[in-house]
Structure 1
């Protein structure tokens, strides 16, 4: 779908990647409903995109929590009013650290935000999207959802669940006018990464991309309507090999185990 034909709901819009996606899609002509929990950054982004003139015809902002029933209902109502035909499930939170240090509350928030919320929001949006001549759902995953990396067990599990959900949904809707897509970035240079994650990536030589580069890929994917893409040639190859025989890659993660062991974490939680 051409961005000029797209009316988009974008969750997690105020984050580093979300704001970059919003900027890119706006520049390419899309109409946007920006969704997030933090009023300041979200409203500032909407004002900046609208040129500070208060014109809400191209960009609107909705301050809600996508993990709540009330928040999702508000998104669906606003999406209907704006004749939305694209849903981008981008909202996510991360967790990094040894598996034995996992905090129960962190685990619950990861599950609610990264997989339960996008599934329920998608379910609620489907009647609206089915009413459109053409529509798209794009779920933002991660290469960590296809490669089990030490330190990212919980976050990777949530993205693996999102990947499988997207795959099943794509097959379920194959005869409809809704295209279902999955994009898997690698590490992104944003505040989403804690200092421990940055140190880990540096120690392991993990490649990363700017949020603007990822946003360009997201925009191209929406236009091409391709089913699934991974950022990085090596990451895409590794994901495919891991899908065939995970044991082949086990030895490649020795440096990741060493790097994780060498890091210091706040006591009591993986975060």
Structure 2
């Protein structure tokens, strides 16, 4: 039984590396898609490669007026059954050079606001919400202070909303990939991961795991070993993770400082 066939899915960040693969796999599952992103050209190009019925709505989700426009667009097209908050950005730099306001706006406030905005519609459709977080939503990592903070916040929001809606027909899920081979990672981050021996997953595989979670009753999904071990270890014995990352700090700082030269 295909649980996604005929369901309408709103996917933010649809033209990103993970988003585009998720769109392709959801389309293959027979889902009806509403894709959003900032580039109308990229959205149209993606739309042309998808088999199932696909609608696009280019907008800037950090703008409250455009959020309302997206809601009205979805209402005009029979509503949605699934909201996937996938849009996000990352910054690799030392604390003094981070743009925290942009990170907080896109990675945290936008998914919170969209959940709030679409809850009445999702109640009617007995739908589900899937928020895309990160392994760094459970592990504070040097060079990613702003990104970690926003993903920690998104994980907390998702968990609280899960529990708030536990008596309802809406499922709220948290999906946490590790480093993925997409343009969200700068060349410095790719080189750093290579030096540290960190594995980077393909967006196709990550999208497969996301779609699998959508079709399951799993409320939480953390990808990758040893990242899943570190997530648990950091929750119980954070001092051990402190020591592990401290030994890598010189290398992290080298790449972070080098990118600004």
Instruction: Please tell me the TM-score bracket, short chain as reference.
Output: over 0.9
2 CA distance for matches of 1:222 and 1:6?
Answer: 11
1 CA distance for matches of 2:21 and 2:248?
Answer: 29
Residue 172 of structure 2 is aligned to residue 210 of structure 1: no
- Residue 5 (structure 1) shift: 4.0
- Residue 233 (structure 1) shift: 3.0
Residue 114 of structure 2 is aligned to residue 117 of structure 1: no
Q: Which runs of 5+ in 2 are unaligned?
A: none
Equivalent residue for 2:94, pick from 98, 101, 111: 98
Counterpart contact for 1:97–1:260, Cα < 8 Å: no
Number of aligned residues: 257
Equivalent residue for 2:259, pick from 260, 265, 268: 265
Q: Which runs of 5+ in 1 are unaligned?
A: 51-56
Higher mean C-alpha deviation, range 13-22 or range 254-263: 254-263
Residue 43 of structure 2 is aligned to residue 42 of structure 1: yes
Query: How well do the aligned residues superpose, as a CA RMSD in angstroms?
Result: 1.4
- Residue 142 (structure 1) shift: 0.2
Equivalent residue for 2:67, pick from 59, 68, 72: 72
Equivalent residue for 2:242, pick from 250, 258, 262: 250
Counterpart contact for 1:6–1:30, Cα < 8 Å: yes
**Cα shift readout 1:239-258 (whole Å, capped 9, x = no counterpart):** 01111231121111134312
2 CA distance for matches of 1:245 and 1:166?
Answer: 23
TM-score (norm 2): 0.95
Counterpart contact for 1:204–1:255, Cα < 8 Å: no
**Stretches (4+) displaced over 4 A:** none
**Cα shift readout 1:4-49 (whole Å, capped 9, x = no counterpart):** 1421000000111110100011111111000001111111101221
Greater relative contact order, per chain length (Cα 8 Å cut-off, separation 6+) = 1
- Residue 261 (structure 1) shift: 2.1
Counterpart contact for 1:149–1:256, Cα < 8 Å: no
SS in 2 for 1:3: coil
**Cα shift readout 1:216-240 (whole Å, capped 9, x = no counterpart):** 0000000003110101132112101
2 CA distance for matches of 1:77 and 1:101?
Answer: 38
2 CA distance for matches of 1:87 and 1:174?
Answer: 17
